[in-house]
């Protein structure tokens, strides 16, 4: 029974992922979990003959085309090979057989499955609204460059070449610091005592920026000058660290052209959030949690 549920839900997620950009789903968003199957029956808009029927339930040509081209990443079903077309049809037929069996067994009524179906519906509808709202709102060059300046301003200005020694207790870390203060070699102590896999490299963990690591570690790291190490142990969820900075260099941000496409996505995401913030403001919402 669990295996059946896995296959049916997997097919639903595949179908949602295959949604062509800018197109609202035609059959992947049921109004409630009890009526959902992997392949939707033909609707009044589907005037063509179905590509298959499974126990009397038709798989419409429109639905098949939608699935097949998305699955293969093609612009048109005509771009698919005969083998790809047949495989797509076999997938939908098998999905429909399994979905019918799932419904027969009442799996669509189980709380976890019903919840996943509802969440899938919300995701598909949110994507449809986003595609429609942003269809004619392509970011301008000025908007993209303004976002570039914002993002560059958020980037760390320096990165640090770091080594560390990780141990289980503060007391043992202090003991090792005392050894270092007496002249012990940092790399040798790391190889001998550190719990971290980096011990094989003498504790070397390469170049890091503060935004990529745990805050206590980062806060200590940025206070060190080249060649210095922490004379007090630094605690994180992994244990107690002795941190050494071996080098510091300026971070060179990517050029505008290198991230232009990503910037467009960020600008559009902000536009859609502003739009949905307005929807939230005008909605009657009552939270009870």
- What is the pLDDT, as a whole number, of residue 1? 40
Residue 185, token pair as written in the block: 């070699």
Query: In this structure, what are the phi and psi dihedrals at residue 255, rounded to the nearest 5 degrees?
Result: -75, 165
Q: Which are the contacts of 55, defined by CB distance < 8 A and separation ≥ 6?
A: 97, 100
Tokens, residue 284: 């009657």
Q: Which residue in this structure is represented by tokens 């049916």?
A: 8
Which fold, 156-250?
Chitinase A; domain 3 (3.10.50)
Find residue 170's DSSP bridge partners.
none
DSSP 256-287: HHHHHHHHHHHHHHHHHHHHHHHHHHHS----
In a structure prediction context, what are the per-residue pLDDT tens digits for the chain, which is 289 residues long?
443 333 333 444 344 444 444 443 333 333 343 333 444 444 444 457 899 999 999 999 999 998 888 877 767 788 888 998 999 999 999 999 999 999 999 999 999 999 999 999 999 999 999 999 999 999 999 999 999 999 999 999 999 999 999 999 999 999 999 999 999 999 999 999 999 999 999 999 999 999 989 999 999 999 999 999 999 999 999 999 999 999 999 999 999 999 999 999 999 999 999 999 999 999 999 999 8
pLDDT reported for residue 32 = 40
Give Cβ neighbours of residue 232 (< 8 Å, ≥ 6 apart): 177
Res 74: pLDDT = 67
Q: What is the model's pLDDT at position 151?
A: 94
Bridge pairing between strands 57-59 and 234-236: unpaired
For 226-229, which contacts have Cβ atoms below 8 Å and span 24 or more sequence positions? 229/180, 229/186
Give dist(CA 261, CA 273) in Å, integer.
Answer: 19
Give the position of tokens 């969820």. Answer: 237
Q: pTM for this one?
A: 0.64
How confident is the model at residue 240, as a pLDDT? Answer: 98
For the chain, where do the domains classified as CATH 3.10.50.40 start and end?
156-250
Question: Would you state the pLDDT for residue 49?
Answer: 87
C-alpha span between 227 and 234 (Å, rounded): 17
């Amino acid at each position: 029974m669990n295996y059946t549920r896995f296959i049916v839900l997997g097919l639903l997620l595949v179908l949602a992922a295959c949604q062509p950009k800018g197109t609202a789903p035609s059959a992947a968003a049921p109004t409630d979990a009890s009526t959902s199957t992997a392949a939707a029956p033909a609707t009044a808009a589907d005037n063509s003959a179905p590509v298959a029927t499974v126990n009397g339930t038709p798989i419409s040509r429109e639905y098949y085309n939608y699935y097949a081209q998305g699955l293969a990443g093609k612009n048109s079903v005509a771009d698919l090979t005969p083998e790809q077309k047949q495989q797509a049809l076999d997938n939908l037929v098998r999905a429909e057989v399994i979905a019918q069996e799932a419904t027969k067994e009442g799996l669509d009524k189980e709380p976890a499955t019903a919840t996943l179906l509802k969440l899938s519906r919300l995701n598909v509808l949110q994507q449809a609204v986003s595609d429609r709202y942003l269809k004619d709102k392509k970011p301008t060059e000025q908007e993209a460059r303004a976002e570039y300046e914002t993002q560059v301003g958020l980037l760390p200005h320096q990165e640090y070449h770091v080594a560390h020694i990780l141990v289980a207790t503060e007391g043992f870390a202090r003991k090792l610091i005392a050894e270092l203060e007496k002249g012990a070699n940092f790399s040798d102590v790391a190889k001998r005592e550190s719990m971290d896999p980096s011990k094989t490299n003498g504790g070397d963990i390469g170049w890091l920026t503060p935004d990529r690591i745990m805050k206590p570690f980062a806060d200590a790291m940025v206070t060190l000058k080249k060649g210095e190490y922490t004379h007090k142990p630094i605690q994180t969820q992994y244990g107690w660290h002795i941190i050494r900075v071996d080098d510091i260099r300026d971070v060179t941000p990517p050029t505008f052209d290198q991230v232009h496409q990503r910037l467009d996505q960020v600008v559009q995401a902000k536009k859609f959030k502003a739009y949905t913030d307005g929807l939230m403001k005008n909605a009657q919402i009552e939270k009870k949690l």
